[in-house]
Amino acid sequence: MLYLWVKAFHIIFVVAWFAGLFYLPRLFVYHCDTKDPVGSAQFKLMERRLYLFTIMNTVIAISCGLGLLILQPAWLSQHWLQWKLALVAALLGFQWSCWQVVVNFRENRNTRNGRWYRWYNEIPTVLLFAIVILVVLKPLL
Ligand code: HEM
Protein backbone atom coordinates (compact mmCIF):
# COMPACT_ATOMS: atom_id res chain seq x y z
CA MET A 1 0.00 0.00 0.00
CA LEU A 2 2.79 2.43 0.96
CA TYR A 3 4.53 1.53 -2.29
CA LEU A 4 1.48 2.57 -4.34
CA TRP A 5 1.15 5.88 -2.46
CA VAL A 6 4.81 6.68 -3.09
CA LYS A 7 4.36 5.76 -6.78
CA ALA A 8 1.31 8.03 -7.06
CA PHE A 9 3.33 10.98 -5.68
CA HIS A 10 6.28 10.05 -7.91
CA ILE A 11 4.03 10.38 -10.98
CA ILE A 12 2.37 13.62 -9.75
CA PHE A 13 5.74 15.33 -9.19
CA VAL A 14 7.17 13.98 -12.47
CA VAL A 15 4.25 15.69 -14.25
CA ALA A 16 4.92 18.97 -12.36
CA TRP A 17 8.66 18.67 -13.13
CA PHE A 18 7.98 18.28 -16.87
CA ALA A 19 5.55 21.20 -16.90
CA GLY A 20 8.55 23.36 -15.91
CA LEU A 21 10.89 21.70 -18.43
CA PHE A 22 8.40 22.36 -21.25
CA TYR A 23 7.55 25.92 -20.29
CA LEU A 24 11.04 27.26 -19.55
CA PRO A 25 12.38 26.88 -23.13
CA ARG A 26 9.15 28.51 -24.42
CA LEU A 27 10.04 31.52 -22.26
CA PHE A 28 13.49 31.51 -23.91
CA VAL A 29 11.81 31.58 -27.37
CA TYR A 30 9.69 34.64 -26.44
CA HIS A 31 12.58 36.28 -24.55
CA CYS A 32 14.74 36.22 -27.72
CA ASP A 33 12.13 38.29 -29.55
CA THR A 34 11.82 40.89 -26.78
CA LYS A 35 13.73 44.07 -27.44
CA ASP A 36 12.43 46.43 -24.74
CA PRO A 37 14.29 46.39 -21.38
CA VAL A 38 11.11 46.28 -19.25
CA GLY A 39 9.82 43.15 -21.03
CA SER A 40 13.26 41.57 -20.85
CA ALA A 41 13.51 42.21 -17.08
CA GLN A 42 10.11 40.55 -16.66
CA PHE A 43 11.29 37.45 -18.55
CA LYS A 44 14.48 37.27 -16.45
CA LEU A 45 12.39 37.21 -13.28
CA MET A 46 9.95 34.60 -14.66
CA GLU A 47 12.77 32.34 -15.87
CA ARG A 48 14.57 32.41 -12.53
CA ARG A 49 11.40 31.74 -10.52
CA LEU A 50 10.22 28.95 -12.82
CA TYR A 51 13.65 27.33 -12.72
CA LEU A 52 13.74 27.31 -8.91
CA PHE A 53 10.15 26.01 -8.70
CA THR A 54 11.03 23.23 -11.18
CA ILE A 55 14.03 22.22 -9.03
CA MET A 56 11.68 21.73 -6.08
CA ASN A 57 9.50 19.35 -8.16
CA THR A 58 12.64 17.57 -9.41
CA VAL A 59 13.83 16.91 -5.87
CA ILE A 60 10.45 15.54 -4.75
CA ALA A 61 9.98 13.36 -7.89
CA ILE A 62 13.49 11.88 -7.55
CA SER A 63 13.07 11.36 -3.78
CA CYS A 64 9.85 9.41 -4.42
CA GLY A 65 11.64 7.40 -7.17
CA LEU A 66 14.45 6.56 -4.74
CA GLY A 67 11.81 5.72 -2.09
CA LEU A 68 10.33 3.17 -4.53
CA LEU A 69 13.78 1.63 -4.95
CA ILE A 70 14.26 1.38 -1.19
CA LEU A 71 10.88 -0.36 -0.90
CA GLN A 72 11.59 -2.61 -3.90
CA PRO A 73 15.40 -2.94 -4.29
CA ALA A 74 15.03 -5.82 -6.79
CA TRP A 75 14.25 -3.25 -9.53
CA LEU A 76 17.90 -2.16 -9.41
CA SER A 77 19.09 -5.31 -11.15
CA GLN A 78 16.62 -4.86 -14.04
CA HIS A 79 17.70 -3.42 -17.38
CA TRP A 80 14.71 -1.11 -17.81
CA LEU A 81 15.60 0.68 -14.57
CA GLN A 82 19.28 1.00 -15.47
CA TRP A 83 18.32 2.52 -18.83
CA LYS A 84 15.81 4.75 -17.10
CA LEU A 85 18.45 6.08 -14.69
CA ALA A 86 20.75 6.83 -17.64
CA LEU A 87 17.92 8.81 -19.32
CA VAL A 88 17.17 10.64 -16.06
CA ALA A 89 20.87 11.62 -15.92
CA ALA A 90 20.50 13.03 -19.46
CA LEU A 91 17.38 14.90 -18.34
CA LEU A 92 19.26 16.43 -15.42
CA GLY A 93 22.01 17.46 -17.87
CA PHE A 94 19.35 19.22 -19.96
CA GLN A 95 18.02 20.92 -16.82
CA TRP A 96 21.51 22.12 -15.93
CA SER A 97 21.92 23.54 -19.44
CA CYS A 98 18.63 25.46 -18.90
CA TRP A 99 20.24 27.16 -15.90
CA GLN A 100 23.17 28.21 -18.11
CA VAL A 101 20.65 29.78 -20.50
CA VAL A 102 18.88 31.58 -17.62
CA VAL A 103 22.25 33.03 -16.53
CA ASN A 104 23.18 33.99 -20.11
CA PHE A 105 19.91 35.92 -20.52
CA ARG A 106 20.34 37.54 -17.10
CA GLU A 107 23.78 38.83 -18.11
CA ASN A 108 22.57 39.83 -21.61
CA ARG A 109 24.91 37.28 -23.20
CA ASN A 110 22.38 35.25 -25.19
CA THR A 111 23.46 34.75 -28.82
CA ARG A 112 20.91 32.10 -29.90
CA ASN A 113 17.67 32.76 -31.77
CA GLY A 114 14.08 31.57 -31.25
CA ARG A 115 14.44 28.83 -33.88
CA TRP A 116 17.33 27.31 -31.90
CA TYR A 117 15.28 27.30 -28.68
CA ARG A 118 12.34 25.68 -30.48
CA TRP A 119 14.56 22.69 -31.28
CA TYR A 120 16.08 22.76 -27.80
CA ASN A 121 12.51 22.48 -26.47
CA GLU A 122 12.20 19.04 -28.12
CA ILE A 123 14.90 17.43 -25.93
CA PRO A 124 12.66 16.89 -22.84
CA THR A 125 9.87 15.63 -25.16
CA VAL A 126 12.12 12.91 -26.59
CA LEU A 127 13.32 11.94 -23.10
CA LEU A 128 9.74 11.82 -21.78
CA PHE A 129 8.69 9.43 -24.58
CA ALA A 130 11.70 7.19 -23.96
CA ILE A 131 11.29 7.05 -20.16
CA VAL A 132 7.53 6.46 -20.14
CA ILE A 133 7.81 3.74 -22.82
CA LEU A 134 10.57 2.08 -20.74
CA VAL A 135 8.61 2.06 -17.47
CA VAL A 136 5.37 0.88 -19.07
CA LEU A 137 6.81 -1.76 -21.43
CA LYS A 138 9.33 -3.07 -18.89
CA PRO A 139 8.01 -6.67 -18.93
CA LEU A 140 9.07 -6.87 -22.60
CA LEU A 141 12.61 -5.62 -22.00
C1 HEM B 1 16.10 9.16 -10.30
C2 HEM B 1 14.88 9.26 -10.84
C3 HEM B 1 13.85 8.17 -10.84
C4 HEM B 1 13.82 6.98 -10.14
C5 HEM B 1 14.84 6.41 -9.15
C6 HEM B 1 12.60 6.30 -10.53
C7 HEM B 1 12.18 5.07 -10.07
C8 HEM B 1 10.97 4.49 -10.33
C9 HEM B 1 10.52 3.22 -9.80
C10 HEM B 1 11.34 2.28 -8.92
C11 HEM B 1 9.25 3.01 -10.25
C12 HEM B 1 8.32 1.84 -9.89
C13 HEM B 1 8.07 0.91 -11.05
C14 HEM B 1 6.86 0.05 -10.79
O15 HEM B 1 6.37 -0.08 -9.67
O16 HEM B 1 6.37 -0.57 -11.76
C17 HEM B 1 8.88 4.16 -11.06
C18 HEM B 1 7.66 4.32 -11.69
C19 HEM B 1 7.39 5.28 -12.63
N20 HEM B 1 8.25 6.28 -13.03
FE21 HEM B 1 10.06 6.71 -12.19
N22 HEM B 1 11.92 7.11 -11.42
C23 HEM B 1 12.66 8.24 -11.66
C24 HEM B 1 12.35 9.26 -12.54
C25 HEM B 1 11.27 9.26 -13.41
C26 HEM B 1 11.05 10.17 -14.50
C27 HEM B 1 11.98 11.32 -14.88
C28 HEM B 1 9.88 9.81 -15.11
C29 HEM B 1 9.18 10.41 -16.31
C30 HEM B 1 9.77 10.92 -17.34
C31 HEM B 1 9.34 8.69 -14.41
C32 HEM B 1 8.16 8.08 -14.71
C33 HEM B 1 7.61 7.01 -14.02
C34 HEM B 1 6.29 6.43 -14.28
C35 HEM B 1 5.27 6.93 -15.30
C36 HEM B 1 6.15 5.34 -13.39
C37 HEM B 1 4.93 4.42 -13.25
C38 HEM B 1 5.19 3.12 -13.98
C39 HEM B 1 4.12 2.07 -13.75
O40 HEM B 1 3.42 2.08 -12.73
O41 HEM B 1 3.97 1.19 -14.63
N42 HEM B 1 10.21 8.36 -13.38
N43 HEM B 1 9.94 5.02 -11.09
Read off the pTM.
Answer: 0.94
Between the CA of 109 and the centroid of ligand 1 the distance, in Å, is 37
> If you count DSSP H runs as helices and E runs as strands, how many of each does the chain have, helices first?
5, 0
Between the CA of 43 and the centroid of ligand 1 the distance, in Å, is 32
Between the CA of 82 and the centroid of ligand 1 the distance, in Å, is 11
pLDDT, tens digit, 9 for 90 and up, residues 83-136: 999 999 999 999 999 999 999 999 999 999 999 999 999 999 999 999 999 999
pLDDT, tens digit, 9 for 90 and up, residues 3-16: 999 999 999 999 99
